[in-house]
Structure 1
Amino acid sequence: MLFMNQKPRVDLTAVLDYDTDGALAETAAEAQRHSRRAFLRRSGIAAGGAVAAGAMVPGLTSGAMAATPKGDVAIANFALTLEYLETAFYAAALKHAGLTGEHKRLARTVHAHEAAHVAALKKMLGSAAVKKPSFDFGSAVQSQAAFTATAITLEDTGVQAYQGQAAFIKSQAVFKAALSIHPVEARHAAWIRQIAHQNPAPAAFNPSLTKSQVLAAVQGTGFIKS
């Protein structure tokens, strides 16, 4: 697996052979095309659906997407899918990776943050929220070393994905919500890098992911099974 045998890094060109059913990649592609109708159909969103409970982030209110541009709905669902992935990853790592010390403290803290992001995004999207996929993280959560390498990759990619979508957001509510989540993800990335004895802030400027890089990154996880 990519995360087990390579040094911790975000290699967006060598990860195209994973994501067995393309669920997350399809979500990213639909967000880029700003086609809500196709996005909802292919994501299998049921009519209706319960509104999730949970604390809200600034700019997010229940049912706010009713008057939101279609492209912003797709972007919000893309963000939700990434948050589903990260929440599940940290939960699995806490259960299986044998984490200790600062690694365990980070995983507990970040898992709580990602779960709060999921709850807030689901509450905002209401019945338009995509369903949570099923995940299998395999050997990526079977040791502390594997967890560390994978967490660095996921957090770096998540930061750049949020950054890359910012220019496409039209509504102030969604934009403010994204801005409230993005710096928290950046802090996660810096924290896990520091634990791994890597430079937590290696450059003065952070590049965003292009459309093709976002698609490559989400295809490369290999963790989504249905």
Structure 2
Amino acid sequence: MTFLHRESQVDLTDVVAFDVDGALQETAEEARRQSRRMFLRRSGGAALGGAALVAGMGSSTAMAATPKGDVAIANFALTLEYLESAFYASALKHAGLTGEHKRLARTVHQHEAAHVAALKKMLGSAAVKRPSFDFGSAVTSQSAFTATAIKLEDTGVEAYQGQAPFIKSQAVFKAALSIHPVEARHAAWIRNIGGMAPAPAAFNPALTKSQVLAAVGATGFIKA
């Protein structure tokens, strides 16, 4: 797996594993050990996202009853949704997108922004703050945008898939299942635009926590 990073590419073929129990503590420790991981201190768990998380979980009482691991999942999800929303917003401004590329970016940005709003509403005061981003050369051309978007969307799909078995709350689990196919559709759409097979295999691999954390950290997109 390769992400475009500024003027070069980062090889992430062997990085991408999720456990939920103790996720906040694990990611805080990793953030202290490794550079460009400051965001992990604030995000703590595995990837997830989507507007449906709000349903039945909007009150502080409901959040207090939510397992800590699931709160960690939601906060890491929020960080990733911040990342994706910011990426598409930046690409719309700087990548010179036209035609179907521009239509995709507008649509997916709206989806990711809705995920951000929903997660923030659900988490309330427990929500992590938006990091700062620098997408470098990944948003300075249509071809660079396409390659990066494919990797981001593929990673998101595989992260949902890898984390779903560890979610304890029915509300969060149902939310994850409602968002996962949307992310898969994003991935298929951008793959098709980029001339890649939208559904390349009969079975899809799942990503683990450590792989996702390494993949996102290695991009250098999240600065602090």
**How far 1:27 moved relative to its partner?**
5.4
Q: 1:58 to 1:72 in 2, by over 3 A?
A: closer
2:86 is the counterpart of 1:85? no
CA separation of 1:146/1:177 partners in 2, compared to 1, >3 Å: closer, same or farther?
same
Kindly provide the amino acid, as one letter, of the partner of residue 62 in structure 1: G
5+ long unaligned stretches in structure 1: 33-54
1:18-47 Cα offsets, whole Å, 9 max, x none, are x9530344456x326xxxxxxxxxxxxxxx
State the identity %: 74
CA contact (8 A) 2:58 2:122 kept: yes
Letter in 2 for 1:194: N
AA matched with 2:115: H
SS at match of 1:130: coil
Matches within 5 A, 1:91-130: 91-130=89-128
What is the DSSP-based 3-state SS (H/G/I as helix, E as strand, rest coil) of the residue aligned with 1:31? coil
Aligned-pair distance for 1:13? 3.1
How many residues in Structure 1 have an aligned counterpart in Structure 2?
198
1:49 maps to which residue?
A: none
Structure 1 position 10, deviation (Å) = 8.1
Q: Which residue of 1 aligns with 2:12?
A: 11
- In the alignment, which of 23, 36, 50 is matched to residue 38 of structure 2? 23
Given the superposition, is the C-alpha separation of residues 168 and 14 from structure 1 closer, same or farther in structure 2, using an over 3 Å criterion? closer
CA 1:216–1:56: 2 relative to 1, 3 Å: closer
Q: Which residue of 2 aligns with 1:172?
A: 170
Q: Deviations over 1:170-196 (max 9, x none)?
A: 000111111111110110000000001
Deviation string, structure 1 residues 35-61 (Cα, Å, up to 9, x no partner):
xxxxxxxxxxxxxxxxxxxx9426633
Pairing 1:69-80 to 2, within 5 Å after superposition:
69-80=67-78
Instruction: Give the unaligned 5+ runs of structure 2.
Output: 17-33
Counterpart position of 2:144? 146
Residue 199 of structure 2 corresponds to residue 193 of structure 1: no
Q: Normalization by structure 2: what TM-score? A: 0.81
Structure 2 CA distance, aligned partners of 1:79 and 1:186? 16
| Structure 1 residues 32-71: aligned runs within 5 Å | 56-57=51-52, 60=55, 61-63=57-59, 64-71=62-69
